[in-house]
Structure 1
């Protein structure tokens, strides 16, 4: 009798894990994140042009704070293994204070059209770039690109021209109309005033934004939080999302389904669906993946539990803010950069580019509200979230960059993304794909969209 009960129980569990069909979409719902209540005010749905501006007093205050920074000497030979090396930080601060031209960077930031509109009680900022020219007979493809932390809409500034005017960049294929919003609580989007604003809420806001702009069918691209928000958009409104392209795609409900392939993959890769590239990027698993994740995930524990505490310090100290943010642009670009005295920061980026991203956080005072995204998303286990139980049934293009924090093989990605039309092992690049390798990402995105368009 016991054996019969045990057999039935195990069989039921295996059926649930491998064959159980979960819902194919998540409910859109609704929300309100403003200080007032919905009934207290009628929401202005107009779209307003916006220009990024700062006062001279703000810049003078920044310079005063930079001039009075207290540095702690680094340990001998520590490089970037203890975090941002303060010897190199002095050089960054010196450049920031003496050579960095914020007014010039403002002109660069404002070269694309910016807008704001109110959705669910808060002001949403976005960049909206239309093609300067369209080949005869071609229609621009709507594309929303979503950043993550500690990034911003500015990450897409190098890729936007390649998508909206591909011919001028030597690319062929579709011409895109690109929308790059700031996640609420980031940059120039207003921060939610109420608890609970997670990736699903952001997905709903951005779906509403695209509908407000007149797009019934569109593509979505993202990395980091932008990848999760993009995924949630596809799960929420599959009838509107024509395709989803990601450069970051961790699978939240792996567990029992991936353990067998993890143990067998190194020795019998073809049996579990691994390629040689998967083997090279994953093993030795503990050394290459688990150890690296442990080294790079301490920030997540802090921001996922008590984000406002470090936020107080970072919002008060521009140098602390720069060190905290730029350290991620070192180690998340390439983990080997920890072995360099300068963290390898200028191997992929200029100091102007890096500091401009920091300045977006500084002038908006948004570092604390941006970190709350971790608290809101981690308050419920990813295993138990509704989006973890729902697959993605729209066409998906996945770009696996070699220096990403963790490699996810195609066979694992298929557990979440049910209609993968392209899976690409990228030749170089890390976590900040659009910022690091705009040409590679633009070309891969073009190929994905062309494939979907031909099949539709």
Structure 2
């Protein structure tokens, strides 16, 4: 071999080795990180007994008439100061103020006079509070009676909501899971916590409590309640947190079910590009619209994620603008229930809200945020989730060993979807993948029957992996 050829071979070998090293570092799975399981997130210095289980009596908050009267006056005072929409513009520029006036009128003249009735509805499900890692944590808990367990198969399930939702998201789904059906022998003990910083759950007083740390807290909650093994269903941030619980603590998770199955790794992005060149090879014809064309996905990403950038960088600033501002809060949150349900709804004057939701449902959610003044603490989730420390955990590249199911609802934002082709490198037991033409991001509210059946079918598949 000539000296020149030998040099070329050496250079080629070094270059090939370097390429393999880079690919391995960026595409291969990584080891599961170990997170502290009793980190203190409360105010000040941690007391010596802060990690000792402490259950508190949940005193159902009674909001005095003067609070409701003050809210009513604020809603009325703001109606006249709303800027009219541009001619011919519906929800394309955001919330249409003509329709917002209708909501405000209903809120003030119909909903608020019935607030005590809505309180009874909200408190119809058993609710509790406990102290974990220095934080007050609120949760719904529906527990199956022993005599029912004799004739039904019972599993615990952890239901996890996202933003700008709350536990109100599960009021239509939870009774179905709890009571079961004639077609299924499966019922569930249900635990549905308000995520830390949401509604009656206390937010952290210290930096660093992202989805991974919340996963630790909620796993601790399930263990405290006596559930050593349980199923998880999650949506939005609840899906991210649920995935982290399943990834970090597979010994405790019977199965993970999600309506927001997404993955963002160099390998998954490479696979997305490859699939875009030959979509028919990776997807059935009816599934293509969920993912392609990519121009639709990226257009939606640019149009719908401005709030994400604000809340990931300046959550307290936007929090100041929304706190103690019921009209602004309602517009900011309810607008998401329009565009995240169906992107075409932005061409309608009411944003399509009346097609999928009752106003009472939307206003219940707003009331929970407003009366607990929790909008700022809920938005801090974004800043923590996108922090350098959280990203360095690389949890999307840690394999998840438990049975997993992905349910996709077509009206959801397209960038919330990932193909099985992308997901299988992380979720090694992806046993169920379903697609629904009805429903959007808030499937538990919009299509509770479909979602219930999807969860039941998944549990039946996951039972085969139980030992």
Instruction: Tell me if both proteins adopt one fold, taking TM over 0.5 as the criterion.
Output: yes
Q: 2:244 maps to which residue? A: 232
83, 89, 107: which one aligns with 1:96:
107
Query: What is the DSSP-based 3-state SS (H/G/I as helix, E as strand, rest coil) of the residue aligned with 2:313?
Result: coil
Q: 2:380 maps to which residue? A: 372
- Give the CA deviation at 1:215: 0.6
Question: Aligned pairs, how many?
Answer: 449
Q: Determine the C-alpha separation between the residues in 1 that align with 2:301 and 2:50.
A: 46
- Give the CA deviation at 1:135: 6.0
Structure 2 CA distance for partners of 1:405 and 1:315, relative to 1, 3 Å: same
Q: Which runs of 5+ in 1 are unaligned?
A: none
Q: 1:347 maps to which residue? A: 355
Deviations 1:244-283 (A, max 9, x none): 0000011021x3543355245344632xx33323422222
Contact 1:235-1:392 within 8 A present in 2 as well: yes
Would you say 1:333 and 2:341 are equivalent positions?
A: yes
Would you say 1:127 and 2:127 are equivalent positions?
A: no
Q: 1:177 maps to which residue? A: 189
Q: Determine the C-alpha separation between the residues in 1 that align with 2:412 and 2:14.
A: 44
Q: Determine the C-alpha separation between the residues in 1 that align with 2:396 and 2:444.
A: 26
Structure 2 CA distance for partners of 1:410 and 1:389, relative to 1, 3 Å: closer
Q: Which deviates more from structure 2 when the two are superposed, residues 340-349 or residues 387-396?
A: 387-396
Query: What is the DSSP-based 3-state SS (H/G/I as helix, E as strand, rest coil) of the residue aligned with 2:186?
Result: coil
Contact 2:399-2:426 within 8 A present in 1 as well: yes
Structure 2 CA distance for partners of 1:123 and 1:106, relative to 1, 3 Å: same
Contact 1:114-1:126 within 8 A present in 2 as well: yes
Structure 2 CA distance for partners of 1:401 and 1:382, relative to 1, 3 Å: farther
Q: 1:357 maps to which residue? A: 365
Contact 2:313-2:383 within 8 A present in 1 as well: yes
Would you say 1:164 and 2:172 are equivalent positions?
A: no
Q: Determine the C-alpha separation between the residues in 2 that align with 1:260 and 1:240.
A: 31
Deviations 1:422-451 (A, max 9, x none): 111123111111111111111000110111
Contact 1:265-1:279 within 8 A present in 2 as well: no
Contact 1:152-1:186 within 8 A present in 2 as well: yes
Q: Determine the C-alpha separation between the residues in 1 that align with 2:302 and 2:62.
A: 39
Contact 1:403-1:430 within 8 A present in 2 as well: yes
Written as runs of structure 1 = structure 2, the 5 A alignment for 1:140-159 is 140-159=154-173
Q: Which deviates more from structure 2 when the two are superposed, residues 41-50 or residues 138-147?
A: 41-50
Structure 2 CA distance for partners of 1:148 and 1:257, relative to 1, 3 Å: closer
Q: 1:108 maps to which residue? A: 121
Query: What is the DSSP-based 3-state SS (H/G/I as helix, E as strand, rest coil) of the residue aligned with 2:250?
Result: coil
Would you say 1:215 and 2:227 are equivalent positions?
A: yes
Q: 2:404 maps to which residue? A: 396
Q: 1:66 maps to which residue? A: 75
Q: Quick check: which has more Rg, 1 or 2?
A: 2
Q: Determine the C-alpha separation between the residues in 1 that align with 2:426 and 2:67.
A: 46
Q: Determine the C-alpha separation between the residues in 2 that align with 1:178 and 1:257.
A: 33
9, 16, 20: which one aligns with 1:7:
16
Written as runs of structure 1 = structure 2, the 5 A alignment for 1:263-282 is 263-267=274-278, 269-270=280-281, 273-282=282-291
Query: What is the DSSP-based 3-state SS (H/G/I as helix, E as strand, rest coil) of the residue aligned with 2:177?
Result: helix
Q: 1:250 maps to which residue? A: 262
Q: Determine the C-alpha separation between the residues in 1 that align with 2:318 and 2:443.
A: 27
- Give the CA deviation at 1:24: 4.4
- Give the CA deviation at 1:36: 3.3
Query: What is the DSSP-based 3-state SS (H/G/I as helix, E as strand, rest coil) of the residue aligned with 2:388?
Result: coil
Contact 2:56-2:131 within 8 A present in 1 as well: no
Q: Determine the C-alpha separation between the residues in 2 that align with 1:199 and 1:42.
A: 21
Q: Determine the C-alpha separation between the residues in 2 that align with 1:116 and 1:268.
A: 48
Hey, which of these two has a bigger chunk of helix by percent?
2
Q: 2:448 maps to which residue? A: 438
Contact 1:26-1:387 within 8 A present in 2 as well: no
300, 304, 317: which one aligns with 1:309:
317
